[in-house]
Structure 1
Amino acid sequence: MRRTIFTEEHDLFRETARAYYLRECAPHTEEWEHDGQVSRAAWAAAGKAGLIGWEFPEAYGGQGIRDFRYNAIMAEEMAATSSVGIGLGLQNDVLPPYLGGLTTDEQKDRWLPGVISGETVCALALSEPGAGSDLGSIATTARRDGDDWVIDGSKTFITNGILADLVIVACKTDPQARHKGISLIVVERGTPGFERGRKLDKVGMKAQDTAELFFHECRVPAGNLIGEENRGFYHMMRNLPTERLAIAVSSLAAAERAFDLALDYAKTRTAFGRPIGSFQANRFALADIRARLNAARVYVDGCIMALVDGHLTADDAAAAKYWTSETAWQAIDRCMQLFGGYGYVNEYEIARIWRDNRVQRVFGGTSEIMQEIVGRSLGL
């Protein structure tokens, strides 16, 4: 489909993003999946190319551009180039409101230059073994002791957990107040009492390091609190619509890549003396997928522009995340079916896309949580 939401500047940025992924990421797919993490050299290259933190002020190395269309381009080109693993989506889509909107000038001076250059990798530590979507139930605590916060607890499913140099940790600073007692505190690499646990062995996204984190009497300077004390839950809720739209964007980009692979395979793979795409069942299946992805593209592009214009609501973002991740999963699964037995062989890209995208229906809030949010917005 012809898309109308991008300008010439966006097209130039897309060329830069594509060149970066093809040069620095796509050739390392097998290596990074084996290692379970990407190289720091790829992060540094992204920073050098201006592909991290463009919305931060120029004084810190950013470009002062706040436009989610650039974020969408990064996700789309990552899928289109078959790149894996590098957590730039977290760094660009999720963390800027925290590091740009909740930090003091002193904190910005300390942290932003390294983040924008790619030298400093960040993580957001919210989920715990006993608390996922229910953030009010987190058990990690932070108590004030003089000029320090002392953190105790654990986190799990943390993207960039192994590589991270800065971790924004959600802590209970008022344990009796549930969600009204959460604060956000930055823990830096090398802080005594901060340890990394297992690199989790996931079904998919093998190249993206996802880890357990542990904090035992972890003493952090009081100056590492970001935002307001006991207002962390509200800070997080304000940022969730962008995160959920980013998941919708990446889900659709992966489905479009899967469709391209399936279409090419249907034209070149033969059975009974003819291309498998010439059989009506397969031709109709591909036609159905194309129509669904066209509808999803219009929907997602509309949400992107709503966010750019400041009109995307939390309910709309939840609906987009739910519908797009579910639709993309159905499309990817059907595309994989066209490959027959080869679709289940890991060396085929379609198998990796299938593995990697199952989690889109889970993180950022499960599909069931998204339905609950939308349902409540209907007055039910």
Structure 2
Amino acid sequence: MGNRAYNFNAGPAALPLEVLEQAQKEFVDFRGIGMSIMEISHRSAEYEAVNNETQNLLKELFSIPDGYKVLFLQGGASTQFTMIPMNFLQAGQTAAYVQSGAWADKAIKEAKLFGETAVVASSKDQKFMRMPDLGALNLSDQTAYLHVTSNETIEGSQVQSYPDTGSIPLIADMSSDILSRPVDVSKFGLIYAGAQKNLGPSGVTVVILREDMLERANANLPTMFRYDTHVKNDSLYNTPPSYSVYMINLVLHWIKRQGGLAALEKINRDKTDLIYNAIDASGGFYQGCVDADSRSRMNITFRLQSEELEKLFVKESQANGFVGLKGHRSVGGLRASTYNAVPYESCQALAQFMNDFSKRNG
């Protein structure tokens, strides 16, 4: 690890060290062209090669079937909260949402600006400390789409299995757990994810769109808010966030070298088990926030007996090289974000620190 911090930030988040080192090596001279990739035209052959290779890598690693387009857009996942109902919520239809936490709430709020919405499953009464039951959803024939948030970064819950929605498009915000495990992409009409947690740096949002969704889309929208604009132009209608796309490219190559998503899922389980075991074996000193069957493998949330003890935990952890363990300001507590790029050794070190802290303060 050298002098690298134990980075548990929720986003922007840790990137693989070897990716950062490769980016550093190519920063001034990209592949021998005498310029940084930030300096070249997005119409150049060099950038188009990166754009195409990154799309193909994502299709390969995520097992994206034929009939889907991969887009690299700007505006973050929050812009997708708006673009989705703008494009796909038509008059006489209802957009169905699963209310699972803070990010789902934000998506619902935006959708209400464009048409009728319905919350078809919710864990609000449980303070979002579990994922809603997705096994018995009641979706009408007038449902435009079902929207789910795969992983709630703030509360620390994660969808364990996705529903079969038949002819109704399933749409998922996978910003905080995309590529952390295999997923059957064919179940979805659209998947989107801000890059800054598992894919790369901030500045680009990945959209995986089933092509037949364009037949449902509203054609009377401003150019930049239409998905068909970006599909027809291969994400190059306007100047893309080229450096962020390049960084995604490096991260995808790194994922491939790790053995792909099945291998990463095992690594993620092994490293988060270290922390969850420290919580569960503490005799109540640490209290996991989320029900065990909804626990996230990306964002581990927990509490101590008092806010004073939590503040001491944060202070001592920072002194020992740990970063990002303070919980989100809206819920408090503590949170360790253990995305793909967070090394096993960091989780091991955190578990050891937690055990030591509990012995000294229990």
Fold-level similarity (TM above 0.5): no
Say which structure is richer in helix.
1
Structure 1 length-normalised TM: 0.27
Structure 2 length as normaliser, TM-score?
Answer: 0.28
